[in-house]
Structure 1
Amino acid sequence: MLIISQRKCYTRKKQYWSKVIILVGAAILLLSYFCLNNYTIPVITPSSFDLPTTHFRSQWHGVLSQGIPGLQTVIEPPHPPKKPPHIVKAVLRNLLLFFTEIDITDIRSLFRAEIPVASIFTIPPQVSIVSLPSLPKVSQSDLPKRGKPLVGIYHTHTSESFIPNSGVTHTPGGQRGDIVEVGAAMVKQFAKHNVIAIQSSDIHDYPSFMKAYNKSEITVQQMVKENPSLQALFDIHRDAGRRDETTVVINGVPMARILIIVGKGQPGLEQPRWEQNYAFAKAIDDKLNQYYPGVSLGMDVVDWRYNQHLHPHALLFEMGCQYNTKEETIRTIEIIADIVAEILAK
């Protein structure tokens, strides 16, 4: 109990000092802006009482509207605002760099954060499961390297959850979200095909969501080093969007749709294995369309890496959206495991 109390105290202190740093930075920013733009705080003097009230209102509105865009639509300032001086830009840059590691003067820093971008899709079709073929049975003798892990599963955004199950999109305070249970279901499904899969439930997106890929890269490096037998690596996410775009109904049973992300890399973030990853993604997507048409949202090739430079069969799965249920997503991840087991057997 003493250790838990000390940890809570440490967390509160850390949160307190973070707020202090933000407030001090904001104060420096505002003071710098006022001083360099020659703003004068009105002082009550006998002559100032003779000025109309609207004079003070418009003057202060001009100051406040610099930081509150909504005020600009109420009363326009009498003079166009001056452009922020260089020192204000520098303060903004340093604050943003300190808290997010994004440098507004270097676009590559945004790419290093590797923030996924949600896509927009059409309304999913309804498919009857009656006409779908059964997956071929995979025998243990068909699988390579029996007794060793063949699949690695991890979650860069470990806190991702489903609103119908947890009431939130992300669990707070470094807790594991519903997406970790989806990964665990995939491990169990692989076991039915005598495929050993390992899962890392390490938390990567806390305390910094922006640094999640830096932490998950370390996890992947360790998984690959300790398990050279791995044939595939999957980073399982929960996508963001609308339920009608990320759900397909098969024989009356709703299932979450899946988008496969392939990182192509870019200058400074090279990805020499992207074509191998793409071929692996294509094999999975083709079999999804063959066995379960409508479940796949296809593949998205992006100019980032998502740790896929660390293995020739590394992919990122975007499963459903925040409005899907965990159960709908598990149904989909189970058929993905079936398909991958078939591919590995070949």
Structure 2
Amino acid sequence: MALLAFSVYFCISNDSFQYTIKILSEKSFPFELILLEGAPGMSYPQRTYISDTRNAAAGIGMYLLTGVNISDARTYFLSFYAPPSEGPTWLGWAYYPNDPEMEGPLLEPLDNPFYHDPEPIKSAQDVLVSIYHTHSAESYSGDGGADRSAGGENGDIVEIGQLLTEKLNQAGINTAHSEEVNDAVYIQAYNHSYLAAKKMLEKNPTTRLLIDLHRDGLPSQVGKDTAKINGQECARVMIVIGQKNQNWEKNDAIAREIIKIAEKKYPGLFFPKIRYASEARYNQYLTDGAILLEIGSQLNTLEEAQAAAGPIAEVLKEYLGK
């Protein structure tokens, strides 16, 4: 209870109280049950239910305050989370600066040969979008499955990447997709995906958008987000920008334009706020237009992620048409 109270206090002091209340009310958060623990006259089932509710509150409190997901042990040791100045951790976070998300050492300096504008488009066959997956084992567990595939195997996120590639190609946007497994050893994922992304750029130097496609990871107590698009429940999309490169503002401007188009075309599909990681790179120093997209979280279903692919493709087509 104290942890939840302190989390709410943190949100108030950082001008995020309105958004916090919105999140908790959307989840029908039972404040009265938390306060009733220990009240006389409660039956054993009632006491058990209240105890379970308090545990859920602790999970939400921990997440609001620190970004640590008590449902995912990896968040205990993969990074040190610090609440951002602009609000709670779901709006962004700062990673431990010496090793953001276990990205490992830079394999090339930030002024490597790929740090320039993409090459001019010379033919209709030139690739405009390249998609790869740093965490290729990520999956969707909203329908009861595992949230990650077995080590060394591709998960649902790669299927979504292939579907998005097909939708873009059908829309006339030539797109390349890498199904390379990059996280067989999780802490080496960014070292491997760096090489995969570099290989894609070498083969497709006209790439305008280099997309590292993920799904988010959330505490189960927070719940999933969906948007109804064309009558279907779609997983919502978040853009993540790593700021540890001298080109991040160009990537940020591109991300803002994509979100602006999405809000007009499919309101609610994209989260309006970009998530920033001040000490992370995410391979985004390789070229202009390098962004990280998260389609839903592990709490969504595969069907909800699939339903988002078509609308995302239409948004990206309109952006590239400009």
TM-score (norm 2): 0.61
Q: Is the 8 A contact 1:205 1:212 kept in 2?
A: yes
Q: Over alpha carbons, which structure has the higher Rg?
A: 1
Aligned residues: 211
Q: Which 5+ residue runs of structure 2 have no aligned equivalent?
A: 1-76, 81-95, 105-120
Q: Which of 170, 173, 177 is equivalent to 1:199?
A: 177
Q: Give the Cα separation in 1 of the matches to 2:295 and 2:229.
A: 16
Label 1:191 to 1:251 Cα distance change in 2 as closer, same or farther (>3 A). closer
Percent identity, please. 33
Label 1:323 to 1:245 Cα distance change in 2 as closer, same or farther (>3 A). closer
1:240 Cα shift? Answer: 1.5
Q: Give the Cα separation in 2 of the matches to 1:155 and 1:225.
A: 17
Q: Counterparts of 1:150-229 in structure 2 under 5 Å?
A: 150-164=128-142, 167-206=145-184, 208-229=185-206
Label 1:112 to 1:239 Cα distance change in 2 as closer, same or farther (>3 A). closer
Q: Are 1:339 and 2:315 counterparts?
A: yes
1:289 Cα shift? Answer: 0.9
1:344 Cα shift? Answer: 1.3
1:110 Cα shift? Answer: 2.5
1:30 aligns with none
Q: Give the Cα separation in 2 of the matches to 1:234 and 1:294.
A: 21
Residues 15-54 of structure 1: CA deviation (Å, up to 9, x unaligned): xxxxxxxxxxxxxxxxxxxxxxxxxxxxxxxxxxxxxxxx
2:41 aligns with none
Q: Give the Cα separation in 2 of the matches to 1:144 and 1:260.
A: 29
2:292 aligns with 316
Q: Are 1:264 and 2:264 counterparts?
A: no
Q: Counterparts of 1:22-61 in structure 2 under 5 Å?
A: none
1:286 aligns with 260
1:161 Cα shift? Answer: 0.6
Q: Give the Cα separation in 2 of the matches to 1:244 and 1:218.
A: 34
Matched residue type, 1:237: H
Label 1:183 to 1:144 Cα distance change in 2 as closer, same or farther (>3 A). farther
Matched residue type, 1:312: D
2:247 aligns with 273
Q: Which 5+ residue runs of structure 1 have no aligned equivalent?
A: 1-98, 116-142, 266-270
1:249 Cα shift? Answer: 2.8
2:126 aligns with 148
Q: Give the Cα separation in 2 of the matches to 1:166 and 1:287.
A: 34
Label 1:245 to 1:101 Cα distance change in 2 as closer, same or farther (>3 A). closer
Q: Are 1:296 and 2:279 counterparts?
A: no
Q: Is the 8 A contact 1:161 1:169 kept in 2?
A: yes
Matched residue type, 2:235: A
Q: Is the 8 A contact 2:234 2:304 kept in 1?
A: yes
Q: Which of 217, 225, 228 is equivalent to 1:249?
A: 228
1:307 Cα shift? Answer: 0.3
Residues 283-304 of structure 1: CA deviation (Å, up to 9, x unaligned): 1100111111112113112111
Q: Give the Cα separation in 2 of the matches to 1:305 and 1:178.
A: 24
Deviating 4+ runs (over 6 angstroms): 99-102
Residues 168-221 of structure 1: CA deviation (Å, up to 9, x unaligned): 111012111000010001111111222110101111111x21110111001111
Q: Which of 189, 209, 215 is equivalent to 1:232?
A: 209
Q: Counterparts of 1:44-193 in structure 2 under 5 Å?
A: 108-111=97-100, 113-114=102-103, 145-164=123-142, 167-193=145-171
Q: Give the Cα separation in 2 of the matches to 1:101 and 1:329.
A: 27
Q: Is the 8 A contact 1:246 1:258 kept in 2?
A: no
Q: Is the 8 A contact 2:182 2:189 kept in 1?
A: yes
RMSD: 2.5
1:334 Cα shift? Answer: 1.9
